[in-house]
């Protein structure tokens, strides 16, 4: 089971990513759950892309903040990432859902993840810890059984 241990962000890049994720959450469209989520991902090279959760009244088309941030980066031509910060209105940190974990795995096996509380304190983890034994693009490179 994952244990939360919180600390203040210690380096300038983490501080900036945390600040961006907290700000991104302000743009959340969450009229049904009332849970605002923001995510900011830093691409290799330093560019930051933000996302917020966008809910739909039919629920299924709802998209999480993490996928919005990653998709924004990919749409701009970036597919290699240094870290992502994820924040919400919850008292404790929120973790990415299973779909978001798998979506991020498409681009990184061990992406550093900052789980951000509303007060800006962070829990550092990575995708390897949150999605152990994951299936990724490299899995498709393994030999296939002949049909």
Q: Is 95 helix (H, G, I), strand (E, B) or coil?
A: coil
CB atoms within 10 A of CB 130: 19
CA 52 – CA 28 distance, rounded (Å): 5
Known catalytic residues? 66
CA 98 – CA 118 distance, rounded (Å): 22
């Amino acid at each position: 089971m994952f244990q939360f241990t919180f600390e203040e962000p210690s380096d300038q890049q983490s501080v900036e990513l945390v600040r961006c994720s907290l700000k991104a959450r302000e743009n959340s469209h969450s009229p049904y759950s009332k849970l605002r989520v923001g995510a900011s991902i830093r691409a290799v090279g330093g560019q930051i892309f933000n996302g917020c959760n966008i809910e739909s009244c039919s629920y299924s088309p709802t998209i999480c903040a993490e996928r919005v941030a990653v998709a924004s980066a990919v749409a701009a031509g970036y597919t290699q990432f240094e870290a992502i910060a994820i924040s919400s209105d919850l008292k404790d940190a929120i973790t990415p859902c299973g779909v978001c974990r798998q979506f991020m795995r498409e681009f990184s096996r061990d992406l550093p993840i900052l789980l951000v509380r509303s007060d800006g304190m962070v829990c550092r983890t990575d995708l390897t810890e949150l999605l152990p034994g994951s299936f990724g693009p490299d899995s498709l490179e393994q030999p296939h059984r002949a049909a």
